[in-house]
Amino acid sequence: MVQFLKLVLSFAPWLAFLIIAHGSLLRLKIGLATALALTVVMGLLRLHRGVILWVGLSFFAYASAAVFLFEHIWTIRFMGPLANGALALGTWFGIAAGKPFSLDYAKEHTDPSRWKHPAFIRSNVVISSLWGAAFSVNCGLALLSALNPEAPALPRELASYAVLLGTCVFTVWYPGYAKRKAMAAEGRAGD
């Protein structure tokens, strides 16, 4: 449960934005200001780091400028796909660059001697890939909502939350599974 709460905390700026920034331009502005402030504070406190930190800073700075300074209608209309797309692109870029974003968080509770172990790296590629897939799916769902604003949003929102919740549960479960699997393989190799 502690791991799950830490995971949720690491996405606090995005969650605050998700909760606050809908229904009116004022709420969107409050959500952006809150998310940008949380991203900066969490970055300074090292609660947020790596690709997710930079994606958050870039996205919330761009969106804040577009909304506060210009009230840019296209950005406002497509805020959901832009947010999820930014997270997806950042996640996929990190994986392609050999630095899946989950590595920065997994190192907190992993012995430094294991940081370069292939099983540790592979586990983080799997976890980050699932997050990339989740953000990509949610980008598609948000795009459907933006293109069809008259359609009922609840089914897409519930699907989006289910994807995120499932990804959180997997992220908490998978490291233990991967560790047991690696230990079993090492035990067989030693026989």
pLDDT, tens digit (0-9, with 9 covering 90-100), for 105-137: 899 888 999 999 898 999 999 999 999 999 999
Question: 124: how many CB neighbours lie within 10 A of its CB?
Answer: 26
What does pTM read for this prediction? 0.93
3-class secondary structure, 150: coil
Q: How far, CA to CA in Å, does 125 sit from each of 3, 16, 168?
A: 18, 26, 15
- pLDDT on residue 50: 87
Residue 190 pLDDT:
58
Residues of the chain with pLDDT under 70: 189-191
Query: Among 50, 46, 15, 7, which Cα is nearest to 174's?
Result: 7
Show me where the domains of the chain are located.
2-182
- CA end-to-end distance (rounded Å), the chain: 36
Query: In this predicted structure, what is the pLDDT of residue 187?
Result: 78
How many angstroms separate the CA atoms of 14 and 151, rounded?
24
The distance from CA 171 to its chain's CA centroid, rounded to whole angstroms, is 12
